[in-house]
Amino acid sequence: MTTVLLILVCLLVVVAFVQFGALIEMFQQLNQVRQHLDMFDTPSPMDLGESHGLRPSEILLPAELDGAEHAVVLFLSNKCKGCFDIAATLAGGALPPHLWLVIVPVSGGDASDFVEQYQLRGERTMVDLDERVAGRLGLDITPAALIVTNGRLDEAKTVPSPRQLYAMLPTAETEARRVLVPRTAGTAAHE
């Protein structure tokens, strides 16, 4: 009887040891998956070249952006998986504040199917039919975002996911902080 109990205890110890090892391996793999996802879900900077510092209207974007303190111009095409994912999050509703949308049709056409499928119509949405805007920027990657700061083209980034798009947009909290910055002699309130 004692021998049977000793064997059972030894078996339980071995099983617990194997399970503990499997748990450690699972956590290591989970960490690798997170690192992999972070690597692919990190926006990459894009070179604006000679367009850096220009007013948006100078590259044929709406003149309203020339007065924007902060805006994000999102370029989507009608052929990329990332564009479909982002369009699905924007589908059917009003665009978030400070977001403008430029649809760049790929392989000709007018992207009307894409616009209709995701209901991407509105005042802040335009279709770049002949790629005049994208061509002026030298933009050949979508989804991409053009950041407008104080009415000037400030930076451009890839947008790998809807989460990263929303991270680029100012929130009501950051807008409130921007308004509450006190003015001091020789500085502007929004610096």
SS (H, E, C) the chain: CHHHHHHHHHHHHHHHHHHHHHHHHHHHHHHHHHHHHHHHCCCCEECCHHHCCCCHHHHCCCHHHHHCCEEEEEEEECCCHHHHHHHHHHCCCCCCCCEEEEEECCCCCCCHHHHHHHCCCCCCEEECCCCHHHHHHCCCCCCEEEEEECCEEEEEEECCCHHHHHHHCCCHHHHHHHHHCCCCCCCCCCC
CA distance 26 to 20: 10
Confidence at residue 39, expressed as pLDDT on a 0 to 100 scale: 57
Confidence at residue 36, expressed as pLDDT on a 0 to 100 scale: 64
Tell if the pTM clears 0.85, that is, is over it: no
Q: Tens of pLDDT along the chain (191 residues)?
A: 788 888 988 999 999 989 988 888 888 887 777 666 655 678 889 988 888 999 999 999 999 999 999 999 999 998 888 899 999 998 887 888 899 999 998 876 778 888 888 998 888 999 988 888 988 888 888 899 999 999 999 999 999 989 899 999 876 544 444 444 443 444 444 43
